[in-house]
Each structure stands twice: as structure tokens, then as C-alpha cells.
Amino acid sequence: MRLSQFHLATVKEVPADAEIASHRLMLRAGMIRRLASGLYTWSPLGLRVMRKVERIVREEMDRAGAIELLMPTIQPRELWEESGRWAKFGPQLLKIRDRKEQEFCYAPTAEEVITDYARNELKSYKQLPVNFYQIQTKFRDEIRPRFGVMRAREFLMKDAYSFHLGQESLAETYAAMYQAYVRIFTRLGLSFRAVQADTGAIGGNASHEFQVLADSGEDAIAFSDGSDYAANIEKAEALAPSAGRPAPAASLQRVDTPTQKTIADVAAFLKVQPRQCVKTLLVRGVDGLVALCLRGDHELNEVKAGKLAELPGEMVLAGEEEIRAACGARPGFIGPIDLPDSIPVIVDRDAAVLADFVCGGNVDGVHCTGANWERDARISRIADLRNVVEGDPSPDGHGTLHLARGIEVGHVFQLGPKYAEALGATVIDEGGKAQVMSMGCYGIGVTRIVAAAIEQRHDEAGIIWPEAMAPWRVAVCVINPKNASAAVNEAAEELYQALLQRGIETVLDDRGLRPGNMFADMELIGIPHRVVVSERGLAAGTLEYRGREDSESRTLSRDELIELLEMA
Amino acid sequence: MRLSQFHLATVKEVPADAEIASHRLMLRAGMIRRLASGLYTWSPLGLRVMRKVERIVREEMDRAGAIELLMPTIQPRELWEESGRWAKFGPQLLKIRDRKEQEFCYAPTAEEVITDYARNELKSYKQLPVNFYQIQTKFRDEIRPRFGVMRAREFLMKDAYSFHLGQESLAETYAAMYQAYVRIFTRLGLSFRAVQADTGAIGGNASHEFQVLADSGEDAIAFSDGSDYAANIEKAEALAPSAGRPAPAASLQRVDTPTQKTIADVAAFLKVQPRQCVKTLLVRGVDGLVALCLRGDHELNEVKAGKLAELPGEMVLAGEEEIRAACGARPGFIGPIDLPDSIPVIVDRDAAVLADFVCGGNVDGVHCTGANWERDARISRIADLRNVVEGDPSPDGHGTLHLARGIEVGHVFQLGPKYAEALGATVIDEGGKAQVMSMGCYGIGVTRIVAAAIEQRHDEAGIIWPEAMAPWRVAVCVINPKNASAAVNEAAEELYQALLQRGIETVLDDRGLRPGNMFADMELIGIPHRVVVSERGLAAGTLEYRGREDSESRTLSRDELIELLEMA
């Protein structure tokens, strides 16, 4: 591509609401332009990158035996009623009435339509397993679209759905998809981890998220340094401490803590460590309030809490009035001591081995010291309630956990029979009997990957694309082409053609910008390799080369350059 | 592709509402499955074909210098208000409210969004001309979706928009797009014509439609046998007859025609030819009714009529009550004689040269014979009002017109400043002055092409794909693979691999169907070349080959087969 024939539109200023690096850099590089909240036009430059991701995803899905089809974006309410998701999906589902007042939605995913397709097309076990996928525009009516295409409303997603008789077959395809995803993210050149994930509202058995590692990631993930264990922090188990609970040594005391409401305040005031305190949260249970107790330095894991049998399937904190009515004090002064018998006290594994701890006194402005379980406070049940922290032992028994932040770009699920059952998708088994199929589903956020890659790979000058995602791998820059000698222009043209002929995707920057502006543009849009053709270099028979991450340029012969590019 | 690994799903029965061949055959071949009215899932087979069309369209757009980008399908009301199309587009525009009660539409085309993009991105004449395109899903909420994907609600369209200063630049890009379209339809292997089209409601100067010829086509087109003139019948001019009007020879007579209301009835009753009759239509004018007179054997062209200065921009027939009030008779008995002076009488060129003609008598149950213009009936103006017919002279003066039917699959427009003016899309010209840009727009119905190709190319056995659109060019069929000798299976596999290695897209039908069913499937899905590997052929060192349009099979050596496929 000659850049003079391309519509490149880098800009200096970006709106203040561009909060994260990828959003700012995509706007500055001119990859996207905002049309409305959560809606973006992909410019020619942005689309080039997006299509590269799409192509790699498609190739690996095909290689893994998945079969591509294409479902409508607009889907009828009736099918979404069959699965129950018309109501359950909530306001993220964009609902639409057509001219005949029929109701539809803009699909955020396509379980219903593919299951409908499968119940019509699949009749016999002989047709299984089968794995259908599409790469299709999706819509989620986010309450607060932000971060550019990272959390846009309209986005491009690859969604695959496999159909099976029996768990073994599902597990096989699941493993094949897992491996395909590993290949996809490896080919894309991204640092990523496949982590065990909570299966959440979508249900099903097993689930892994593919997380692109980036400090700005919304998800916290935990991984072992002694094994390949990795999990979303929502899911990572905090093992019970190996040491037991010491015997009580102190007596229970009540102390005035008139203005100390947080653990940090109380610990500082009482000159103890937060880890010697117990914090107590009151949440709404199936039948009245439930107390959850954690060590003062630990964070409650809401997903784990939500799964407690005592809770109604999700964790909701009790309100201040409810708390006062039940315990006689306000939040900040609640503790496990003298709680009404009607309130179950569920204690985190680490909190349960504390002795002589500090906790709220269930009286406003009062905490207790020297508190001890059993002697002073009831334990209804011990459970894993907390987020793992750096240095925790790995739940698989090998190594120590470390934490990282990630951006979820892929997700594989063993859905099981959920949708097939709701929609009555059966096939005839070997014995001639109708059986409900099992399903797996496998998503990749194509447009999100573009943003995630930038979050992972950028510096103050701009984007640093991996080779596979770069709009072009090489930029051939001509200094001052309008005033350069014919020889310089010819040399640049010849090099450009020679690289193209070798299959090296190259852009010729023939726009005639000043060198500083031209180089800044090429760095901003993240071209991995830059070559400058100049009068001086031509005289010396050399080219000036700079890799995007190099700190300075170096001089290469033409052959050295080509060898370098062919190896990269 | 091994067909055993592919989800091929041909069916015998199709719903009664599949009225046209392409709809029936796409359902029978399993290319599409209906999800809801006007909404179709493209099966793996259908998608393969659609993607081939998409790829050729993309390659030719790129080759012509157009630059691909991608706009959202969901677009904000505000922009559509700026162009005035939010109201004007009518109920085909699918309108949507999001969770915040903001209004959007699902784009049926993208003039507004691209013009908004252009007004933000294009600042200087130096950036022009530029031609942006996308291949993106569109939605039109058709009142009566039918004919499968031919008139679906959700469909895939390539839409391009070019920006210019000056008509000359627009005309150049228009010509380049015209040529790109010629290449696209030529490469697709379709019989087509580029015809002059009416620019209709969208406005602008020049316009051509690309019509795939098919007897079932909705559009009538006229083309010359003596030149490259071709036009939509809406637009094709009927030249004035070369002979003048004969002098009156008969006297005006009134005759009773109590039950004869149509031209056919009257002509039969009076024993004259319909071409000796004048039919008179009363339509609503800018200021009262207007009479349009045509020869009895000619058809009114509503598009031409709609452009008459006397009409308000469209042609609407007057109602029976209006007609009786103005002329004293009911439709069927109206004629140009003794019409009130307030009614302009606009006469078609061919009707204007009649003498001694038959016409309505403006009294119920009465017609006139021996009527003559000027003597008996006023002519306010002579105009071209009729559809051309087979045998008319070509308007360019070369040859004779013939009629054909076509399916519109592409459309190029010189839009001019319409949208740029409405949205204030200007650039600075060479003199430093802001100037409104001119625009061209260029659409291709990607999914529609698939159906149109089938309308043009099918027989009772199924689809007859051109090489470029076929899901696979060659089917290698193994007779009874499970019971065949290892040698037969190996020979089939070897041939399959050899063809793939030569870049010949091949499918191996290893499903083990009976030969009759296997061949019927391959014919139904339209594979251009079929090769059978059998015990007998293997023994003789030959293959049984049959082209999709051949009446019988023939025996070829392996080399002959490969040569044939490489030439095809």
C-alpha cells in the first residue's frame, strides 16, 4: 500500500473521556471514530488490524474442524422466550419492534438460534459431534459503554457452538477448542493465560477464560509458579491454612472506638495488624440475615459467597436499617460476638484459625479485643470466602500463587444440556431413542482483542503491534520524496516492491511529511519495522532500520534487512 | 473438504411459500434456513457461496482504489434527521430505542454515517477524491419479505461512497466503479447488463443498474441490438414516430358500448385494433386533474409520468368520484373529447400521430369513433409517456430495442452534493475556500447475487453454479466407499489431494450414499464438475466425468481430467 493512496488520519487530541491507553491510542492512530455512545466506525487502518485477527481466528477454527455459518443479527422473541433469556438477559438485550409490532432482539449471543438450527438439522447421533461457528456482529446495550471498543455496544464476536451425545464427546471438543484458542492467541503474538473461570449465570460444568495480560485489565487472575494452574480470582480457591487455631491467651475486652469504623482505623487505633482483626459483613440470606467473617486483611469473594447454600444464589449486602434492627449497631461495629442465634455465622478458613482477635462489639463505637472462636463467638460453618492473595499456596498443591491482571478475550464453556433441553433439541441415539444433546460454547471477542493487544503492548509513542496484528509489518519511509533525487525515490520503490514480492506486507510512506512527523505516525500506528531510504544511505549502499521497540536506529545492508524481516 | 466432515443438509420438501426457483433451490440445497419472516441463517454450504461473492467484490473494489472501512449497523436518529431521511425513509427503516430511550435505526444504507465521517476526516481538496466502502449487514423492514434472500429483511451489502470537488472527479470515479462492477459480474460468470436507471427518490445526476438477466426478474430492461444502449424500462425513451399524423378521414361518431370498459373489450366490439384506440387516464396534478392519453396497445410509464411538470413529483391515479365529478363519466368511458378546459391533456408521442381513432365519450356506456386531434380533441402537450416495446427504435439512433427481464444486483449513482450539503460536509479548495463535496454511491447486494445467479442458472435437477461461485468446483465421488476395495478409496483420496494441490477446490464425497442420491445431491448443490472413481474405471485406468450441464458422462484419463479442470 502507498500511504498517499490510503486514508491515514492520526490526530493529536483525544477526548477526555478516553480513559485507557487503548482507547486513546486507537483514536490518536485514527483506527476508530465514535459515532455514538458505544458505537464506533472502524477506519481503514483499524479494519486492517481487525481483519487480521478475524482471519487467524477463522483459520484456527477451520483447522479444529469447526464449520462456519452465519446467523441473523435480528432474532425473534419467541425463541428467546423458549430459553427464558428474553426476560433473564436484562436491559443489555436490545429489544426491537418491527413494523408489524413483532418483537425481536439484536443478538448478544446466539445459543437460541443455533439450538433451533440444530434441532431442525440434526436428527441422528451419526451427525454428532458437530461444531458450528460464526463471526458476526453482536450488540449489548451496556448501561455505561466505555473504554472505546473494549466495552462497546456493537462489536464483532466469533461464537461457536458444539453439539454432542455424552460428556466424553463434549469434553473432547472442549479440549480441541481450548487448544485452538491457545494457537490463536499464540499466533496473534499476545501474552495470555487460560484460566479456570466461574461458570456464572450461563451455567454448565467447565469453563476457561482466555485472558490477555495487561496491568489495566478488569479481571484479576491467579496463577501458580509451580504448575500450570491459573484461575480467575473469582474462582481461585484459598486453601485452608495448614496450621491450626492457637489456644486462647487473652480475655475478651470491650474498648471504645468512637470514630474507628474501618479495619484500618481500628487496627491503627488499637496498634494491631489488620490480619489480627475479623471483619463481619451481614448479607441477605435465604431466610433472614447471614454473617460472613473474614480476616481484616482479606477481601470477600462475592462469587464464592453467592454460592453458599445459605444465600439465595447471589450476594447482596444488608442495608444499614436491617443491620441495626438485627444486631443493634451500625455497619463498622458488627462482630460475631453475641449475634442473635437466628443469624448463621459463616467464617472464612483463614479467619477461623485466628485467636485473640479484634472484632466489632455490636454496639456503636465499641470493638472487642482478645476475642476467640467457640469461647466468645459461634461458628456455624467454615468456608472459603476470600479472594486469594499473592503468596497463597496454589490450590493444586504445586507452587505459590501470583496475581496478574487480564482482559478477557475468549471464553470456552461446557454448557451441557441447558439450551438443548429448553428447546427440545434431541437426536436419535444408537438404540433408536431420542436424547437431548449436550452443548459447548466458545466465544472470542474479535474487536476486543484489538484493544487488549494495545493495552498489553504500547509505550508513550504509541502502539507496539505484534507482527501478526500490525496493519503492515514494514514501513518504507522516503525522506522528502518531492525534493529527493530520482535515485532515492526509485530505490524506495524498488525496495517496496521487493518486500511485497517476498510476501512481506509493506507500506510505502510517500506522503512527503517531514521526517519527524512521518516517524511519529509510524510509531503511533505501531508498525514493527521501519526502513528509511535517504540520499546518504543510498550513497553508502545502506538502509537505516529501526524496530518499533529498539531504542535507536541501525544501519543495515539490503540483504541484512531482508533476512531480518524474513526471520521476524 | 471431505463431505463426511461437512454439514451438508439437502432436503426434498420445501414450503409452499417458496415461490421462485432460487428460494426453492436454496432451501432444497440447504443453503439457507428460515429463522423468521425475511430472516435467514446461512448454512455452511450457503456461506461458502456468499463468501466467494464477497471476496470477488472486495478484490475488485480494492483494485479500483476504494478503501474498506466498517460502520456500525446501529446508527443514531440525530444523523438521520440531518439528512431528512429519518422521516422520509418510511416504515422500511427499522427504528430502535435503547435502554436510555435514545433512538436509533438499523442502517439500510449508510450515506449519513459516511458523510459524517467525511466531514470530520476530510479537510482539504488534497485528500480528494476518496472512495470508502464497507461490506456490512443491512436491514430493511420490508412490508412483505419474500423470495427468500432475494427480498430478505437482513442482508449483506457492499456500499461505497466517494467524495469529490467537481463533477469531473465524480464522473471519473463513477466510471471506475462502473468498470469495477463490470469486472465483478464478469468474474462471477453471470450474464448481466449495465442499464441506465432512473435516479428516483435518491436524486442525483447519473445512475446505472447492474441487472442479472433472468426470466423471473422483477425489472424489465430494454437494450439495443445495434449499440450498447441499455436502460431500465422505467427510463428507456420511446422516440417520436418518424411519420406524421394523417389527415382526418372519418367523422366523429358516438356509439353505445354499454358493457365495454377495457380497450380490449371496446376494440373487439368495434372491430378495430387496440392501436387505433386512445386510452385516457386521469391523474392528480399540481392543480386539479390531468389527462394522460396513450395508444391503446401501449402501457403508461409511471416514472416518466411522475416527472411531468403538471404532476406533483409522483403519479397518483384519480379516484372514481373525482373522475365523475370532473368529467361526468366513470373510468373506462373517459376520452379527450369535450374535457373541461381546466384539465390539461398530455398526449403520448405515438398517440399524438393517430387519426380517426376510438376513445371514451365522457358519458357512461358511450365511446367515440373517427375522433381526431385538434379537430375534436385538444392537445395541451405531447410527451413521452409510455413504456418502450420490443421492436421500438433504440433512443441512441442505432438498432432496435429488445426487452429482457433482470434482477437488480448493483447500482451506481452520481449523488452530487445532496448529503454533503445537508450535513455540511465541506473541504477547503485550492483557493482556501470551503466547498461542499460531491458524492457518488455504489451498492452491490452480496446476498442477492447468490439468489440472482440461481434464477439465471438452474435446471430441474438443481443449481448450475458458475465456476467462481460454486461451493466447490469439483466433486470426487466414491461409489460405495465402505465396501469398495482399498485401491478405489486410495485412488479417490489420491485424486482429491492431487486436485487440491493444483489449487482446484474439490470436495470428496465420502459419505457412502447410494450413487443415485450422491449424484442428485451434487447436481442439486450445483457442483460444476463431477468425477466418479469406481472399481471398473480403476481397472481401465479411467475416470467417469460429467460436467453439470452435460447430458451424459464421459470417460477421461486422469491427465485429461486435470487439463479440463485447469482450463475451465
Across the interface, whether the CB atoms of B74 and A39 are under 8 A apart is answered yes
CA contacts within 13 A on the Cβ side of A302: 7
Q: Is the pLDDT of residue A201 over 60?
A: no
C-beta atoms of B41 and A106 within 8 A: no
Mutation target for A interface from B4, B5, B7, B143: give the one with most A CBs within 10 A.
B7
Same domain, B374 and B421: no
State the average pLDDT for chain A: 95
Q: Which residues of B touch A36 (CB under 8 A)?
A: 72, 75-76, 102, 104
pLDDT, averaged in runs of 10, over chain B (568 residues): 93 88 97 97 98 98 97 98 96 97 98 98 96 98 94 97 96 97 98 85 74 94 93 93 94 92 92 96 94 97 94 92 92 92 96 97 94 96 97 95 96 95 97 97 98 98 98 94 87 96 96 94 98 92 96 95 94
Q: What is the pLDDT of residue B480?
A: 83
Query: Which residues touch B511 (CB under 8 Å, ≥6 apart)?
Result: B3, B4, B8, B518
Beta strands in B27-83 (DSSP E): 32-36, 39-42, 67-68, 74-76
- Chain A residue at shortest CA distance from B31: A69
Mean pLDDT in residue range A218-241: 93
Q: CA of B210, closest CA in chain A: separation in Å?
A: 26
Residues A14 and A89 in one domain: yes
Contact (CB<8Å) B41/A72: yes
What is the reported pLDDT for B560?
Answer: 96
Residues in a beta bridge with B221: B232, B404
Phi, psi for residue A421 in degrees, rounded to 5: -70, -45
- Collect all residues of chain B within an 8 Å Cβ-Cβ radius of residue A447: none
CB A157 within 8 A of CB A136: yes
Check if the beta carbon of residue B196 is closer than 8 Å to that of residue B470.
no
CB contact (8 A) between residue B113 and residue A41: yes
**To probe the interface with A, which of B74, B122, B135, B142 has the most A CB atoms within 10 Å?**
B74
A239 burial level (CB within 10 Å; 0-12, 13-18, 19+):
middle
Where would I find the beta strands (DSSP E) of B510-551?
Answer: 529-533, 543-547
Q: Please name which of B466, B457, B450, B456 lies closest in space to residue B156, comparing C-alpha atoms.
A: B450
Contacts of B99 in chain A (CB under 8 A): 91-92, 94, 141, 143
User: Are B33 and A121 a contacting pair at CB < 8 A?
Assistant: yes
Residue B115 domain-assigned (yes or no)? yes
Say yes or no for a CB contact (<8 Å) between A41 and B71. yes
Same domain, A232 and A270: no
Shortest alpha-carbon distance between residue B475 and chain A (Å)? 19
3-state secondary structure of B383: strand
- Residue A568 near residue A505 (C-beta atoms within 8 A): no
In this structure, the strands spanning B207-213 and B94-97 are: unpaired
Q: What is the pLDDT of residues A486-523, one digit of tens each?
A: 899 999 999 999 999 999 999 999 999 999 999 999 99
Quick check: B160 and B442 in contact, CB under 8 A? yes
Q: In chain B, whose CA is at the least distance from the CA of A117?
A: B33
- Shortest Cα distance, chain A CAs vs residue B44, angstroms: 5
Smallest CA–CA distance, residue A158 to chain B, in Å, is: 15
The pTM for the full model equals 0.91
Cα distances from A87 to residues A104, A289, B103, in angstroms, run: 13, 28, 22
Contact check, Cβ <8 Å, A94/B98: yes
Report CB contact under 8 Å: A44, B69.
yes
User: Would you call B341 helix, strand, or coil by DSSP?
Assistant: coil
Cα angle for residues B163, B165, B168 (degrees, 5° grid): 100
Is position B243 within any domain? no
Span A107-126, average pLDDT: 97
pLDDT category of residue A16 using cuts at 50, 70 and 90:
confident
Answer yes or no: do B232 and B257 share one domain.
no
Of B383, B415, B441, the residue that ends a domain is B383
Nine-digit cell at A11? 490526530
Same domain? For A208 and A313 the reply is no
Residue A563 Cα, gap to closest chain B Cα (Å)? 29
Q: What is the edge-to-edge ordering of all strands in the sheet holding B357-360? A: B253-256, B366-371, B357-360
- Asked if B117 and A42 come within 8 Å (Cβ–Cβ), the reply is no
Phi, psi torsion values for A331, nearest 5 degrees: -55, 140
Residue B348: HSE in the Cβ half-sphere, 13 Å Cα cutoff: 29
In a domain, A398, yes or no: no
What is the pLDDT, as a whole number, of residue A479?
Answer: 86
Looking at residue B320, what is its pLDDT?
Answer: 93
For residue B102, the chain A residues in CB contact (below 8 A) are 36-37
Look at residue B15 in the predicted model and tell me its pLDDT: 84
Distance (Å, rounded) from C-alpha B236 to C-alpha B382? 17
Q: Is B339 exposed, middle or buried (0-12, 13-18, 19+ CB in 10 A)?
A: buried
Q: Answer whether residue A200 shows pLDDT above 70.
A: no
Q: Do A50 and A153 fall within a single domain?
A: yes
Residue contact B35–A67, C-beta within 8 A: no
Q: Which residue of A has its CA nearest to B154?
A: A72
Q: Which of A65, A143, A154 has the CB atom closest to B74's CB atom?
A: A154
Residue A497, φ and ψ in degrees, nearest 5? -65, -40
Compute, in degrees rounded to 10, the torsion defined by CA atoms A225, A231, A235, A238: 0
Over 60: is that where the pLDDT of A72 sits? yes
Mutation choice for B interface testing from A8, A35, A106, A116 by most B CBs within 10 A: A35
The answer to whether A68 contacts B120, with C-beta atoms less than 8 Å apart, is no
Tell if the CB–CB gap between B35 and A75 is shorter than 8 Å. yes
* pLDDT for the residue B117: 98
Task: Specify the higher pLDDT residue, A559 or A479.
Answer: A559
> In this structure, are residues A529 and A473 in contact, taking their beta carbons and an 8 Å threshold?
yes
Please indicate, yes or no, whether residues B302 and B223 belong to a single structural domain of this protein: no
Domain assignment of residue A553, given as a range: 472-567
A150 and A126, same structural domain? Answer: yes
The C-alpha of A394 sits at a distance from chain B's nearest C-alpha, in angstroms, of 41
Q: Are residues A147 and A265 in the same domain?
A: no
pLDDT at A205 over 90: no
B388 within domain boundaries: no
CB neighbour list of residue A395: distance below 8 Å, 6 or more residues apart: A229, A231, A236, A237, A238, A239
Which residues does residue A213 pair with via DSSP β-bridges, in sequence order? A406
| pLDDT over 60 at A202, yes or no | no
In this complex, the residue of A43, A68, A153 whose CB is nearest that of residue B44 is A68
The whole-angstrom distance between A554's CA and the closest CA on chain B is 34
Q: Are residues B60 and B204 in the same domain?
A: yes
Tell whether B222 and B78 lie within a shared domain.
Answer: yes
- Cα distances from A30 to residues A7, A13, A187, A337, in angstroms, run 9, 11, 25, 60
List the helix and strand counts (H, then E) for chain B: 15, 30
Flag whether A461 is in a domain: no
Does residue A23 belong to any structural domain of this protein? yes
Coarse DSSP helix, strand, coil percentages of chain B, rounded to the nearest 5 percent: 30, 30, 40
For residue B395, give the C-alpha cell. Answer: 433512443
Helices B446-456 and B44-63: crossing angle in degrees, nearest 10, is 110
Name the domain boundary from A454, A487, A516: A454
- C-alpha to C-alpha distances, B142 to A43, A98, A100, B543, nearest whole angstrom: 30, 10, 10, 50
Distance between CA atoms of A105 and A95, rounded to whole angstroms? 4
| pLDDT at residue A174 is higher than 60 | yes
Q: Which of B4, B49, B17 is nearest to B30 (CA)?
A: B49
Contact B26, B524 (CB under 8 A): no
- Give contacts of B131 with chain A, Cβ < 8 Å: none
Question: Is 90 exceeded by the pLDDT of residue A306?
Answer: yes
Closest residue of chain B to A129, computed from CA coordinates? B5
Measured between beta carbons, the chain B residues lying within 8 angstroms of A113 are: 35, 41
Nearest residue, CB atoms, B42 vs list A70, A102, A104: A70
Neighbours of B58 (CB within 10 A): 17
The domain that holds A284 is classified in CATH as 3.90.960.10
Q: How far apart are CA A475 and CA A1, in angstroms?
A: 10
Per-residue confidence (pLDDT) for residue A391, from 0 to 100: 96
Q: Closest approach of chain B CAs to the CA of A76, in angstroms?
A: 7
**Strands B366-371 and B357-360: what pairing?**
antiparallel
By C-alpha distance, the chain B residue nearest A37 is B76
Q: Is the pLDDT of residue A204 over 80?
A: no
Residue B405, strand partner residues:
B220
Model confidence at A365: pLDDT above 90: yes
Of B99, B116, B121, the CB nearest to A141: B99
Percent of chain A with pLDDT over 70: 99
Subunit contact B41:A113, Cβ cutoff 8 A? yes
pLDDT reported for residue B229:
92
- Cell 426457483 belongs to which residue? B21
Rounded Cα distance between A317 and B474, Å, is 65
Q: What is the CATH number of the domain that holds A208?
A: 3.30.930.10
Question: Residue B395: inside a domain, yes or no?
Answer: no
Residue contacts between A and B (CB atoms, under 8 Å): 139
**What proportion of chain A, given as a percentage, has pLDDT over 90?**
90
Partner residue opposite B47 with nearest CB, options A43, A68, A141: A68
Rounded to whole angstroms, how far apart are CA atoms A538 and A492? 10
**In contact, B535 and B510? CB cutoff 8 Å:** no
Nearest neighbour of B99 by CB, restricted to A35, A91, A121 = A91
- Interface probe, candidates A53, A54, A69, chain B, greatest B C-beta count within 10 A: A69
Picking from A33, A96, A121, the nearest residue to B117 by CB comes out as: A33
* Residues forming beta bridges with residue A414, ordered by sequence position: A440
Other beta carbons within 10 Å of B553: 15
- Least CA distance to B69: which residue of chain A? A44
Residue B46 lies in a domain: yes
Instruction: Supply the ipTM of this predicted assembly.
Output: 0.90
Cβ–Cβ < 8 Å for B484, B500: no
Q: What is the CATH number of the domain that holds A512?
A: 3.40.50.800
**Chain B residue numbers touching A33 (CB-CB < 8 A):** 117, 120-121
| Residues on chain A touching B447 (C-beta within 8 angstroms) | none
Same domain? A216 vs A76: yes
Contact between B35 and A68 using a beta-carbon 8 Å cutoff: no
Spatial distance between the Cα atoms of A55 and A67, rounded to a whole number of angstroms: 14
Q: Is the peptide bond before B515 cis (omega within 30 degrees of 0)?
A: no
Chain A neighbors of B96, CB-CB under 8 A: 94, 96, 106
Domain count, chain A: 3
Residue of B nearest to A94 (CA): B98
Mutate to test the interface with A, among B13, B70, B112, B155 (most CBs of A within 10 A): B70
